[in-house]
């Protein structure tokens, strides 16, 4: 079979809603695209653990500390599941770790920002995990089958993280003026980054991942689902949102944003790995990677039983 | 013998065969366990290569880790009511 014939067959399979397994033939740009996408997802899970790790000492009780630690453990686990899937597409785990700490690959924009206090934990847990869940739930329909299988567990755990985040948010929202300020302050700092999280409008013509159905929905479609689901809940709790302020469009029933209100500048810097915390967090990640080398080495050898 | 029944599912243990080598084991597994398109992929693993805990009670959760379960957050409705009441109270004050 010629390359063109294989490609035509592959395209027809994708059009028809068919799924791709690792051992199946796939065009190079499909393989490269899926690998880059899953690698970025894996990087984001591991880098996403860091802001929450920074917040652990400010947990208000032992139980809150333990539940946050459990969540961080889940996120690191997600990274491991995803690196496993990415690895099968032809890039070694070592190479992915190295590219991450050397700033050669990317991770999600929201993990390039600083955390200030416990209000950030509520916000990350409820709204950032909420945003991630909207995108990840859509990816469960992806054409790359091994990815959808790990997303099953990831989404189930993210669902729990969302409840955990909502629980902390509601505690702050029902609390003292200071507690309410903590959540409001976090909202004011994070809102634009959450809007950026979904990315700029998709270019349906040019986006290979959409064409190959690796991604199933456009960025603006996912952002809209997020806004419709969360904006009324935020307002209901008596909090306000900074620019871009969503407004309710009565005719469509949707919560909309004025697109010209969105400043994409900060996202452009982050894409170049020049976000406010990029350098520090990557250096921290590198330090952990180096400090834990002995563990990896010890685990690579079978146990020696001394009598 | 481990079988995957479709793109959505992981491999699951689905039976055992007696065979002198992996090729024969795969053939036997196909004939015995994939007669009606129950799977699109098979693995065979030698029984002696499967390891398990001697005492499975080690799988029990050692301490209170209820926060790992959704049931820990079951009272969200009451908590939301409380937060909404607080929001109304603040609106009233201003």
Residue B10 within a domain? yes
In a domain, B25, yes or no: yes
Residue A255: what are its φ and ψ, rounded to 5°?
-90, 120
Residue B86: phi, psi to the nearest 5?
-65, -40
Task: Evaluate whether residue B54 is within a structural domain.
Answer: no
Say if the Cβ atoms of B82 and A67 lie within 8 Å.
no
Residue B70 placed within a domain: yes
User: Which phi-psi region, left, alpha or beta, contains residue A17 (left: φ > 0; alpha: ψ -120 to 50)?
Assistant: left
Examine residue B16 and state whether it is found in any structural domain, yes or no. Answer: yes
Does the beta-carbon distance from B79 to A180 stay under 8 Å? no
Domain ranges of chain A: 18-299
Please tell me the total count of domains within chain B: 1
| A148 touching chain B per CB within 8 A | yes
B10 contacts in chain A (CB < 8 Å): 149
Distance from CA of B76 to the nearest CA of A (A): 7
Which of A70, A149, A166 lies at the smallest CB-CB distance from B68?
A70
Q: Which of B6, B11, B9, B7 is nearest to A213 (CA)?
A: B7
Q: Which CATH architecture does the domain made up of A18-299 adopt?
A: Up-down Bundle (1.20)
- Candidates A165, A168, A174, partner chain B, best to mutate (most B CBs within 10 A): A174
ipTM of the complex as predicted: 0.84
B58 lies in some domain: no
Burial state string for A268-291 with b = 16 or more CB within 10 A and e = fewer than 16 = eebeebebebbeebbebbbeeeee
Range of the domain at B19: 2-46+65-93
Considering only alpha carbons, which residue of chain B is nearest residue A21? Answer: B7
pLDDT per residue of chain A (307 residues) written in tens, 0 to 9 = 899 999 999 999 999 999 999 999 999 999 999 999 999 999 999 999 999 999 999 999 999 999 999 999 999 999 999 999 999 999 999 999 999 999 999 999 999 999 999 999 999 999 999 999 999 999 999 999 999 999 999 999 999 999 999 999 999 999 999 999 999 999 999 999 999 999 999 999 999 999 999 999 999 999 999 999 999 999 999 999 999 999 999 999 999 999 999 999 999 999 999 999 999 999 999 999 999 999 999 888 888 877 6
Of B67, B83, B91, the CB nearest to A173: B83
Alpha carbon A70 to chain centroid distance?
Answer: 18
pLDDT digits (tens, 9 = 90+) for A136-176: 999 999 999 999 999 999 999 999 999 999 999 999 999 99
Identify whether B35 is part of a domain: yes
């Amino acid at each position: 079979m010629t390359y063109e014939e294989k490609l035509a067959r592959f395209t027809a399979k994708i059009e028809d809603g068919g799924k791709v397994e690792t051992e199946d033939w796939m065009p190079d740009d499909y393989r490269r695209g899926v690998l880059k996408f899953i690698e970025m997802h894996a990087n984001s899970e591991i880098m996403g653990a860091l802001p929450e790790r920074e917040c652990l000492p400010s947990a208000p009780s032992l139980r809150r500390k333990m539940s946050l630690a459990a969540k961080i453990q889940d996120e690191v686990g997600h990274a491991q599941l995803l690196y496993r899937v990415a690895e099968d597409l032809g890039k070694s785990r070592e190479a992915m770790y190295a590219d991450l700490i050397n700033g050669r690959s990317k991770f999600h924009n929201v993990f390039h920002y600083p955390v200030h206090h416990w209000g950030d934990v509520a916000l990350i847990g409820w709204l950032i995990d909420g945003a991630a869940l909207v995108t990840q739930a859509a990816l469960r329909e992806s054409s790359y089958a091994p990815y959808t299988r790990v997303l099953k567990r990831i989404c189930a755990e993210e669902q729990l993280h969302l409840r955990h985040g909502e629980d902390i948010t509601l505690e702050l929202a029902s609390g003292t003026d200071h507690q309410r300020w903590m959540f409001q302050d976090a909202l004011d700092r994070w809102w634009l980054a959450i809007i950026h999280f979904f990315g700029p409008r998709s270019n349906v013509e040019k986006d290979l991942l959409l064409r190959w159905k690796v991604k199933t929905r456009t960025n603006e479609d996912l952002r809209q689902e997020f806004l419709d689901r969360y904006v009324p809940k935020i307002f209901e709790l008596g909090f306000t949102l900074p620019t871009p302020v969503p407004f309710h469009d009565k005719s469509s029933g949707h919560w909309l944003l004025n697109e010209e209100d969105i400043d994409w500048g900060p996202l452009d810097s982050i894409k170049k790995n020049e976000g406010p915390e990029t350098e520090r967090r990557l250096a921290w990640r590198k330090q952990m990677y180096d400090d834990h080398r002995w563990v990896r080495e010890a685990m690579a050898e079978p146990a020696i039983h001394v009598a | 013998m481990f079988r995957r029944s479709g793109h959505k599912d992981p491999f699951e243990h689905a039976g055992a065969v007696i065979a002198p080598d992996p090729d024969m084991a795969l053939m036997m597994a196909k004939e015995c366990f994939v007669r009606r398109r129950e799977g699109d992929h098979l693995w065979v693993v030698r029984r002696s290569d499967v390891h398990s805990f001697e005492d499975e009670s080690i799988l029990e959760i050692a301490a209170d880790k209820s926060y790992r379960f959704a049931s820990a957050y079951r009272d969200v409705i009451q908590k939301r009511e409380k937060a909404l009441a607080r929001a109304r109270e603040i609106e009233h004050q201003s």
